[in-house]
Amino acid sequence: MTDDEIRKIRKKNNVILGVILVAFVVLVFSITVAKMMGGATMEAYDHVRRPQLEEIK
């Protein structure tokens, strides 16, 4: 395999990988939007008011 051929293959592989990575980012973003619109909980379990942690006036 000549250097030129290697470069060509490598460039093609990089472009494909780049496209896949961008597609993955778009997919993760879409999943996030879909989950939020579906009403997924955005808070962890402890996101409730805990009076015992509040200062007594």
| 25 vs 23: CA distance, rounded Å | 5
6 binds other proteins (CB under 8 A): yes
Query: What is the three-class DSSP state of 25?
Result: helix
Which 18-57 residues touch other proteins, going by CB under 8 A? 27-28, 30-31, 33-35, 37-38
Which residue is listed with tokens 């009076």?
A: 51
Among 1, 44, 53, 56, binds other proteins (CB under 8 A): 1
| 13 vs 20: CA distance, rounded Å | 11
Q: Which residues bind other proteins (CB under 8 A)?
A: 1, 3, 6, 9-10, 12-13, 16-17, 27-28, 30-31, 33-35, 37-38
